[in-house]
Structure 1
Amino acid sequence: MKTQRGVKANYFFILAAIGLITAWIFNGIAVMKSQDYLAAWFGTEVDLVLSFDIFVVAFAVMPFMIWEGRRLGMKNIWAYIVVAMFTAMAFTFPLFLAMRELKLAKLEAAKA
């Protein structure tokens, strides 16, 4: 796992863990405080900028994950998108990138 691909995979696994933990913590706090998600996402112009920024990135990331996953022969790519709806894209996209690196390493090893 000391290969360049392994280092990249570990980096993305760390980001995925951070994304999951922060989503759990801050969503938990928001739920305990009965905060209004729609008001928070669309309350001010600054909120709108951040919200639409996230939407555009998500709509770029989801097809990329599907197309790249299919190209590489990765299984259950749909699961990353479904899980993102219940956790956070900040978790599932780095997780996908980590798994992609592992798949690329496997494909490269098979060629060698």
Structure 2
Amino acid sequence: MRPKFTTIEIFFLVLAIIGLCATWYFNIRFYTEVADTSIGNFIALTKTTLPAKSINADIAVVAIVFLVWMVYEARKLKMRHWWVYIPLTFLVALAFSFPLFLFFRERNIRKQKKDLQQA
């Protein structure tokens, strides 16, 4: 009997939860501690220092690579609802959507292997 969750699935799911909590901790602080909580100010504040600009460039490249690969991989594996990860990336956080996609990708691969073994 196979486990409900494999070790790697648990790892990805835990990272998704950490990614959600870590990013939204700071988002909530922004909305409760900053006077101008507009999205324009939020974005402007991410460009205030050279290290922030470096991190933004890094995350932007990673996000583009993830989204392109994710669409390719999800279609190849015939995953359902793959498009949900695109808005999640922008509305929640890349730190949440990327490990969440990997979690469901692993589950999909495991299910496909199980279906092949039963055939």
**Shared fold (TM-score, shorter chain, > 0.5):** yes
| Partner Cα separation in structure 2 for residue 24 and residue 51 of structure 1 | 17
Task: Give 1:99 deviation, angstroms.
Answer: 0.3
Q: Please tell me whether Structure 1 or Structure 2 has the larger radius of gyration of its CA atoms.
A: 2
| Partner Cα separation in structure 2 for residue 107 and residue 37 of structure 1 | 42
The one of 78, 84, 95 aligned to 1:79:
84
Between Structure 1 and Structure 2, how many residues are aligned? 111
> Which letter does structure 2 place at the counterpart of 1:48?
K
Tell me, which stretches of 5 or more residues in structure 2 are unaligned? none
SS of 1:42's partner is coil
Compare relative contact order (CA 8 Å, sep 6+) and give the higher one, 1 or 2.
1
Task: Give 1:2 deviation, angstroms.
Answer: 3.9
Q: In structure 2, what is the equivalent of residue 29 of structure 1?
A: 29
Structure 1 residue 10 corresponds to structure 2 residue 15: no
Q: In structure 1, what is the equivalent of residue 100 of structure 2?
A: 95
Task: Give 1:42 deviation, angstroms.
Answer: 1.1
> Which letter does structure 2 place at the counterpart of 1:18?
I
Task: Give 1:110 deviation, angstroms.
Answer: 1.2
| Partner Cα separation in structure 2 for residue 45 and residue 22 of structure 1 | 22
| Partner Cα separation in structure 1 for residue 46 and residue 25 of structure 2 | 18
> Which letter does structure 1 place at the counterpart of 2:99?
P
Task: Give 1:82 deviation, angstroms.
Answer: 0.7
Q: In structure 1, what is the equivalent of residue 63 of structure 2?
A: 58
> Which letter does structure 1 place at the counterpart of 2:69?
F
Cα-Cα RMSD = 1.7
> Which letter does structure 1 place at the counterpart of 2:11?
Y
For residues 67-112 of structure 1, what are the alpha-carbon distances to aligned partners after superposition, in whole Å with 9 as ceiling and x for unaligned? 1000001011111111221110100110000000000101111111
> Which letter does structure 2 place at the counterpart of 1:57?
V
Task: Give 1:41 deviation, angstroms.
Answer: 1.5
Tell me, which stretches of 5 or more residues in structure 1 are unaligned? none
Aligned-pair identity (%): 32
TM-score (norm 2): 0.86
